[in-house]
Amino acid sequence: MFVVGLFILAILELGSCSSIPDPPMPVFSCPAVGKASPASRVTQLHPSNIKAVMALGDSISAGFAMKGIPLEYRGLVYSIGGDEYVSDWGDMKALTIPNFLKYYSPSLAGQAYGETIPLTKGAYLDAGVSMAKVEDVPSQIQYLVNTINTQYAGIIDMNNDWKLLTLFIGANNLCICCNGDSRGTPQYFENQLRSVLTSVQQTIPRTFVNIITIFNISGVWNAGQTSEYCRLLWDGITDSECPCLLENGDAGRLHMDQHTVLYNQVIEKLATEFSSQVTGNPNFTVVAQPGLSGFNITYFGENFLSGLDCFHPGLPGEEAFTISIWNNMFQPPGQKQTTINPNNVQIICPTSQSVLQ
Residue ranges per structural domain of the chain: 2-22+39-328
Q: What percent of the chain stands above pLDDT 90?
A: 73
DSSP 52: E
DSSP 339: -
What is the per-residue pLDDT for 14? 37
Cβ–Cβ < 8 Å for 289, 168: no
What does pTM read for this prediction?
A: 0.91
Reported as a single tens digit per residue, the pLDDT across 11-55 is 333 333 333 335 567 889 999 898 899 999 999 999 999 999 999
Reported as a single tens digit per residue, the pLDDT across 257-310 is 999 999 999 999 999 999 999 999 999 999 999 999 998 887 777 778 898 988
Reported as a single tens digit per residue, the pLDDT across 152-186 is 999 999 999 999 999 999 999 999 999 899 999 99
Show the 3-state SS of 142-206: HHHHHHHHHCCCCCCCCCCCEEEEEEECCHHHHCCCCCCCHHHCHHHHHHHHHHHHHHHHHHCCC
More confidently predicted of 276 and 8: 276
More confidently predicted of 9 and 265: 265
CATH number of 2-22+39-328: 3.40.50.1110
Q: State the average pLDDT for the chain.
A: 90
Cβ–Cβ < 8 Å for 81, 60: no
pLDDT-based confidence at 232, cuts 50/70/90? confident
